[in-house]
Structure 1
Amino acid sequence: MAPDSLACRVLKARYFKNDSILEARRGYDPSFTWRSLWGAKSLLMEGLRCRIGNGHQVSLWDDAWLQGEGMGRVPTFNLEAGLYLKVASIIDQEHGCWDIDAARELLTEDDVGRVLAIPISKRLPPDEMYWWPSKDGCYTVKSGYWMGRRGSVRAACFGDDENSCELWRDRFGWVLKNLGENDGGRFLAIAWAIWTIRNQRIFDESPPSPEVVITGFIKMVSEYRVYAQRVLGDSARGSSRPANSWSPPASGAIKINTDAYVPGNGVVGLGAVARDENGCIRWIWSRRVRARWDVEVAEAQAAIFGLEIAQEKGETAPMLECDALSLINALKCGASFRSAVGLCVDDINYLCNCFPNSSVSHVKRGGNAVAHLVARLCETVGDTIVMASDFPHAMSAIAELDLI
């Protein structure tokens, strides 16, 4: 409902004149429209989270701002802390990052770990609300329907993450490559059968026997392979798509490849490497930070890191390239996301606009090997490695292989 619409203005004047709709009461003898909206309020409250910008508008204890499953609120209240503290109290406002020492004074270690999973922008924009079950942070009927029917965990499974198809395609490609044609086909048949059984258990009252379904799918795939070989011959095998390789930028420009290393122990490695039109490495920059970002956020932070270094180096026409397809698609579509990842996308767009000429592109992991090694260079949290010459032999060798 648009805020300036007649219906919204009438409802606000009567039911929540001095508050937001989330703080409004049901009231006495409400209209049918307001009763309907009120009935869906609990669903809305379950899916809404606060995206942290500067933290001045978000209550540390009362608002839902933590990521992950559950209600999103801090579960353990600190009796010695102030009742009306804001999230800004645990943010280093000068450097635009979390104040870990302040967070540990107020929160438990588990809660601090959840805080470290949230990215912070150095721009410290205003706080916003977002719908966490959807990828872009905007409410959709589909995600709202599944949340109402199956709960928050189900809603996350049935979200609008179309980019995950590419991720699963790469994973299945790796499995098929290592198992071979026959075992790979059997593996896909079993995976297909498991997914079918899962759907039948959720939506059907009397699901069939798993053994019967799996055996039937394996037989069907085997019979189809025989049929396709007889009818189509060698063309049934198809041809595998070659992996993308690194390509040099235009003359006078540099290409900045970035990558992130997420070992899963509360630290993240960020790496950036700049190369010219001849494929020669201009500089590499590696840093290890204390954070619990997921892979998507870590890749976005690595891109931010690379552009910041390019800005410090005085580059004028950087070409940002990484192997995170969902991130590149988000940057190219130009849409503004309200989710935590969307905050990182906004930072990347802001940095790109600081250059006279800049562009973004995607490359598969095989063409991003140098940046992958750079992200693993640092071994201690807080360390930064900068090189403009005498690069490690492994990196130089891989950079030369990219040109073959």
Structure 2
Amino acid sequence: MLSNPSFLVAWVFKARYFPHDEILNSKKGSSPSYAWRSIHNSLDELRKGTRWRVGNGRRIHICEDKWLPTPTTYKVTSPPTDFEDFPMVASLIDPDTRWWKANTIRSLFLPFKASTILKISLSYNLPEDRLIWVGNKKGIFTVKSAYYIACNLVDTVEGACMNGLPTMLNLTTRGVNSSGFCPLCDKAIENLPHALLHCDHAKQTWSLWQDCSVNLVSLILDPIDIALNLLEKGTINDLEIFFTEFKGACTSFSLHQNPSATSWRPPPLGFFKINVDGAATEDSGNSSIGVIIHDSHDTAIAALNKVLLAPYTIEVTEALALLHGALFALEMEASYAIFESDALSLIQSINSGVVGGEIGHIL
């Protein structure tokens, strides 16, 4: 019913049990059928594993709904802000530019949260918002991915507490040639607590959490002691915020791509070939895309390059490259076209019709 709301069985249950709302907000109702009772009893687990993919933002509440790419809350956890009479994500999107209202977002949210929002990609046609499953990139529910969601936070915290991150101290003990000192401040040996909590640069980040019940800047504590202090002096929400940001600091993404082993060939007679590519960097520089169109005689007839509005992940960048390639092809009236990209996973998703994940609205 979440993935295929147009199916007949979805229509029947919606008409009977949640005609004016989403299934995740539905009530069990009076005299429910055995099937509906079973479905409704599983909704709590489904809520933990779903979040909104932003389309036009009209159905997503800014503070109450899960829509940010920030595990494990996926919610806005910044101090509350007055969004007046329309607290929906649509109020943050400019319908004319089909992009975020950057100045408005920077004025309403803390810098790190504003940066996160501005990195969320929007589709050019601003489709309807859609609930997606966060347990895998395809956005499709599986039992395996549900188990992954249940274990994800536990595994991350356990990995950090077991001191398994590649700090300078750990690299030195594993035979890597390193002084062991923090490469940012050069004041102390870089172990796990120093890297994520005690370094001056880490303290600057934690100082943005202004209403934290524990002073993370002045106290010299390890992650477990901080968690216990938060439980004693704060709330469960404080603990969730701490582990959300801690998880983000523990996570890194590889930008490496395997080069294609297939040589380039011109398209068949009467067709155009549109090659697209995207580039993303590990620093704060914005992503960029490039498009080139060839005819069947191997002649380049048009090209496009563009710097995007934010530093996206490589997967989002490649998806936006395909989108801009399609728009450029329409502009050049290349009706019969073959698209070529080195992003194999995106091509496979398009060919198979599996576009339910985080970037499905772009594809």
TM-score, normalised by the number of residues in structure 2: 0.61
How far the C-alpha of 1:314 sits from its partner, in A, is 2.4
Give 1:5-404 correspondences, 5 Å limit: 5=9, 9=13, 13=17, 19-24=21-26, 37=39, 39-82=41-84, 84-148=86-150, 150-151=151-152, 243-264=261-282, 265-333=284-352, 335-345=353-363
Structure 1 residues 9 and 56 mapped into 2: Cα distance closer, same or farther (>3 Å)?
closer
CA distance in 2, matches of 1:103, 1:245: 45
Aligned partners of 1:50 and 1:127 also within 8 Å: yes
Aligned partners of 2:127 and 2:361 also within 8 Å: no
**Structure 2 portions without partners, runs of 5+:** 157-258
Aligned partners of 1:113 and 1:292 also within 8 Å: no
How far the C-alpha of 1:326 sits from its partner, in A, is 0.9
Q: Deviation per CA, 1:2-24: give whole Å up to 9, x if none.
A: 875499749954xx676544224
CA distance in 1, matches of 2:340, 2:19: 49
Counterpart AA for 1:291: A
Aligned partners of 2:50 and 2:133 also within 8 Å: yes
Structure 1 residues 242 and 62 mapped into 2: Cα distance closer, same or farther (>3 Å)?
closer
Structure 1 residues 153 and 324 mapped into 2: Cα distance closer, same or farther (>3 Å)?
farther
Structure 1 residues 76 and 19 mapped into 2: Cα distance closer, same or farther (>3 Å)?
same
Counterpart AA for 2:332: K
Aligned partners of 1:48 and 1:131 also within 8 Å: yes
Q: Deviation per CA, 1:284-332: give whole Å up to 9, x if none.
A: 2111012232211211111111221222222232221110111111222
Higher helix share goes to which structure?
1
Moved more, 62-71 or 244-253: 244-253
Aligned partners of 1:96 and 1:124 also within 8 Å: yes
Aligned partners of 1:63 and 1:73 also within 8 Å: yes
Aligned match of 2:251: none
Aligned partners of 1:256 and 1:274 also within 8 Å: yes
Counterpart AA for 1:322: S
Query: Tell me, what secondary structure is at the counterpart of 1:143?
Result: helix
Aligned partners of 1:270 and 1:286 also within 8 Å: yes
Which one has a bigger Cα radius of gyration? 1
Query: Tell me, what secondary structure is at the counterpart of 2:24?
Result: coil
CA distance in 2, matches of 1:115, 1:78: 16
Structure 1 residues 117 and 153 mapped into 2: Cα distance closer, same or farther (>3 Å)?
farther
How far the C-alpha of 1:245 sits from its partner, in A, is 1.1
Counterpart AA for 1:244: T
Structure 1 residues 34 and 257 mapped into 2: Cα distance closer, same or farther (>3 Å)?
closer
Q: Deviation per CA, 1:136-174: give whole Å up to 9, x if none.
A: 2121122113323x145769xxxxxxxxxxxxxxxxxxx
How far the C-alpha of 1:132 sits from its partner, in A, is 1.4
